Structure 1
């Protein structure tokens, strides 16, 4: 399969997996509304993947792929076997710890649940974690092996299978009234993804030759640094959800639904943008052309800031219609939809900060400056904790703390990259500040002057189309995308 076909298929599967994640949340909302049962289901459904991402999955590719890429199949098989053993051992122990402390974990993740719902969530979480944590960790090793082999499409296929299993368990639980089926869905989904990942990652590999049983000390040291950098951003979501839950049953769901819908477009688009821009940055670095690398960074950052601001503005306008179309069914009342709409607009306001953070972190990572990323994300977590401690227990405390985290992290990462490259990028800083001010003003105006939801959707479509046209015409990276698409279309026509 050609690289272009692999890239296109991977993007399609990535979008499908994220859309299925959205469908999963829609099923929870329509079946349980904004309630303690909905919050309990969201904790059980999201905990295994968030825990594996925090403790393993977000960092393991950064350590494994450089050690396997370009190596022979026997080496990849041996490395995969070593990391799989370590993953299984560590996360079997982690599953047992979760089982032992399941009630405390639920109180930590969703403090707003009442006693019966907390007990229900704890029992379901404990059973599912015993299987889902080790299965998820070993599946992440398979993901890294597939990346090293250039077979990216399979890791997104695994996520599609995982989300389908979760949705199936949710539907059965809602139809039968047996909440235990939520745990059953998690277990089935985790095992199905594990089997798929193991089969795909080892399909073209020989049996692992005898050798070391565990990864070497240098690899484990690198893993520790990578975990410190990547795991902190997962804590932003967990901590913000817990602060929201403090305000009462259903508030954790408000944050979850708003975050899922609000951040989905940016993170999907970033996967495409990074694939186009990273190759150019890497080429400049390998040739020792620091001036070109700085120019590419400025252009990529500016493009992502404009694009994120465009997505945020269109999303703010469309929010009532989008939430009504997705969540205006079942047990989601009009008041519940309004709460999610307002939270979604706040999440959208933060998109330019997240876009800047994604570019800055990737650029620092290209220099292997993981310590700077740890510093930035740690500052964000400290800001989140400080705001959460100072503000009263209200429905917007978690959102404010989440915003403080991204603001602090972006500021520190910007400072570290500016110091490293001797380039503060003041023009892009002005673009970021202007985007935040415009979006804040737009959010306030939309709250004061609400429009019919159908008109919101139509106006948002016009704004998005006009903005994309302007980016393709005037932005340097936008013109590059346009020219590549045009030249490919002309070649096909010829």
Structure 2
């Protein structure tokens, strides 16, 4: 079910995500873990983060069902109406970010030295200017998703990341911090413009017809909360970590990339590919066929166990491979590996939550998930209020928040769906993960050469997948259909 359906999506998504990792590697090589690296990370990621929180997920949740079965003219009419509202909101948001750039810079990147604070405000101003293009891109990507133009969707990510890598290279070669920020700002605007040109080229042409009714405001609000709160957790943790001092924001960002890559490429991809079959299984709000749900959980959990094993065993070598270049300091690199390994354990509850969320979305019962994510965010804010700023501890708090979300989502899917879960597979894969990690501790791969660490990590992940596949009918069915 998942392997065939996701081959093209996986290839394109893999290419775009790998280029995103190359972008982070370029940042580490150009600026290391410094105050200027903090500014670069903040400036380059803020526009798309704002678009993702406020628009990307909400647009998909609201517009894709509204567009289903509609003529192209009606689709274009509603798209135009939404675009007008988005641009109006984007302009207001740009103005607000520009006016509040100084206090926002102090809050979002508190570890930046006082001498760089004016440049932090300048970096935020460049980000604010890029927000309208980021929001409009989110709408156009949603239209391509409706048209099933995956090449156009993921090609847009390739375009923007390639442009940003060029901007980072130019900033790294500049002679001063001020010129570096200017180069990053101009490169960011150029990247956003090139992405819009790409999306416009891929955009389907259709003459607008009679406008459809715009979905009601409460639907937009719940969709925005459901899609935005999960993205707010790592962003909030990153901002809290920045209070620890210069370079902490960039270090946390690099560490989270170690966790984010398997999260997106494995767990979230499985959940998105499973959504149609899970939605069909929950006909009339009741579970008619448990097989898609069992298979989704089986595959997501197995891949999460394999990813945790790979990161725990090969985390230091992987951090060295991705971020140990140029101006990256050895001490900061060790922190990246340490924090990333800590955060990897959060992949286990996120695997359960990702599939449970698809079941809740199929039943149109997202409020329990929204409440759970809000509670997880409050947990992070409570840690910040207690003075927690260490990246390792914040990763643990994130893991606890994701565990809370997973528990809430599993309780919310209902007793019939919970009885369909592959509990035996969960136990077997979890036991294999613990066995692999005990073997790693006994053999001591942590002190081995980087190449041997990476080989051991790959073999450990492969062993978990193959042994689970051998013993699990659910996993074999998930990959066969």
Q: TM-score, normalised by structure 2?
A: 0.90
Distance 1:15 1:69 in 2: 27
* Count of residues in correspondence between the two structures: 474
CA deviation profile, 1:429-488 (whole Å, cap 9, x unmatched): 97499569939976994998732122211211221222232233233343125535xxxx
Residue 54 (str. 1) matches residue 53 (str. 2): yes
Q: 1:480 to 1:421 in 2, by over 3 A?
A: closer
Residue 231 (str. 1) matches residue 228 (str. 2): yes
Map 1:85-484; keep pairs closer than 5 Å. Answer: 85-130=84-129, 132-177=130-175, 178-179=179-180, 180-201=182-203, 203=204, 205-209=205-209, 211=211, 216=214, 218-274=215-271, 276-286=273-283, 290-293=287-290, 295-390=291-386, 392-418=388-414, 421=417, 423=419, 425=421, 427=423, 431=427, 434=430, 438=434, 445=441, 450-452=446-448, 453-484=450-481
Residue 72 (str. 1) matches residue 71 (str. 2): yes
Q: 1:307 to 1:9 in 2, by over 3 A?
A: closer
Q: 1:412 to 1:157 in 2, by over 3 A?
A: same
State the 1:340 CA deviation. Answer: 0.8
Map 1:15-54; keep pairs closer than 5 Å. Answer: 15-54=14-53
Q: Contact (CA 8 Å) 2:12, 2:151: kept in 1 or not?
A: yes
Q: 1:257 to 1:443 in 2, by over 3 A?
A: farther
State the 1:421 CA deviation. Answer: 4.4
Q: Tell me the C-alpha RMSD between the 2 structures.
A: 2.9
Structure 1's unaligned 5+ residue stretches are 485-494
- Which has the bigger relative contact order, CA under 8 A and spacing at least 6? 2
State the 1:119 CA deviation. Answer: 1.8
Structure 2's unaligned 5+ residue stretches are none
Alignment match, 1:488: none
Distance 2:472 2:56 in 1: 35
Distance 2:431 2:352 in 1: 12
Q: Contact (CA 8 Å) 1:166, 1:185: kept in 2 or not?
A: yes
Distance 2:158 2:285 in 1: 40
Distance 1:441 1:5 in 2: 32
CA deviation profile, 1:95-143 (whole Å, cap 9, x unmatched): 111111111221221111122223212102213322x111111111111
Q: TM-score, normalised by structure 1?
A: 0.88
Q: Contact (CA 8 Å) 2:33, 2:332: kept in 1 or not?
A: yes
Distance 2:66 2:335 in 1: 47
Q: 1:34 to 1:53 in 2, by over 3 A?
A: same
